[in-house]
Amino acid sequence: MKFIEQPPRIFRWFYPHALWRINPDKKAVFLTFDDGPIPEATPFILDTLDRFGAKATFFMVGDNAVKYPHLLDEVRLRGHAIGNHTFNHLSGARHTPWTYLANAKKADDVLHSNLFRPPHGWIGMVQYRVIRYCGYKVVMWDVVTRDYSRLLTAEDVLNNVKRYTRNGSIITLHDSLKSIDKLKHALPEILAWLKQEGYEFGVIE
């Protein structure tokens, strides 16, 4: 289902100033984790990244960061980047641009980041323009692992990374309850494979 794992070109055309991929001339990837931080998932991910000397960018839900401030601090202390994923994981399809922006700004009071990723990977055109006008850099993705899907196994998640990753890929994973059981098996293998293939790990700035 390549339509899901990699965004169609028309999406990139509609949102030309969003970040989909970074420097295809350099053998580097940019791991991202959405929806955390939560104690059931984030500590394991941080420890696993440390084992492989990898850095990542965490797109956090503001409400989770308020509930677990020690995890927000720990992500920063370990040298990872932080991005905004709204305060309440708002769907762009169900809210006005102004409600959407207000929720992002509420998250920013906690996260203090100009990086923004829309929940569910969807943002309306007016929302997109308003978010960008307010100084946020909209970060999308080049590879969605679908680690959240009940239909996929840990091996499927790993294979999605192997099949679609290329130079400059922004790879989307999740530190969430839906994903963590698969990530406990898949994440170490993903990191080992990326290192074996010669990829460096970058953070989004």
Pairwise CA distance, residues 144 & 199, whole Å: 18
Q: Which of 120, 130, 121, 71 is nearest to 97 (CA)?
A: 130
Question: Which of the following is catalytic: 35, 80, 108, 174?
Answer: 174
Ramachandran angles phi, psi of 34, nearest 5°: -105, 155
- Count the domains in the chain: 1
Is the CB of residue 78 less than 8 Å from the CB of residue 88?
no
Q: Among this protein's residues, is 174 annotated catalytic?
A: yes
| Residue ranges making up the domain that contains 109 | 2-201
Residue 205 contacts by C-beta under 8 Å, 6 or more apart in sequence? 81
Q: What is the mean pLDDT of the chain?
A: 95
| Predicted confidence (pLDDT) at residue 188 exceeds the cutoff of 90 | yes
Q: 25, 34, 142, 156: which one is catalytic?
A: 34
CA-CA distance, 13 to 78, in Å (whole number)? Answer: 35
Q: What is the pLDDT of residues 33-60, one digit of tens each?
A: 999 999 999 999 999 999 999 999 999 9
At 41, list the tokens: 């998932």
Asked, as a colleague might, if the bond just before 37 is cis with ω within 30 of 0, I would say: yes
Share of the chain above pLDDT 90, in %: 89
What is the structure's pLDDT at 16?
Answer: 87
Residue 14: predicted pLDDT? 85
**Choice between 72 and 8, residue whose per-residue pLDDT is larger:** 72
Interval 83-108 mean pLDDT: 95
Clarify whether 34 is annotated catalytic: yes
Please write the tens of the pLDDT for every residue from 139-165: 999 999 999 999 999 999 999 999 999
At 8 the pLDDT is: 66
Can you list the alpha helix ranges (DSSP code H) found in the chain? Answer: 2-5, 9-14, 42-51, 62-67, 69-77, 97-111, 125-133, 154-164, 180-196
What pLDDT was estimated at residue 4?
59
The pLDDT of residue 12: 79
- DSSP secondary structure letter of residue 146: -
What pLDDT digit, counting tens, does each position of 98-133 carry? 999 999 999 999 999 999 999 998 899 999 999 999
| The pLDDT value given to residue 1 | 46
Q: The domain that contains 80 carries what CATH number? A: 3.20.20.370
- Cα–Cα distance between 185 and 193 in angstroms, integer? 13
Does position 3 have pLDDT exceeding 50, yes or no?
Answer: no
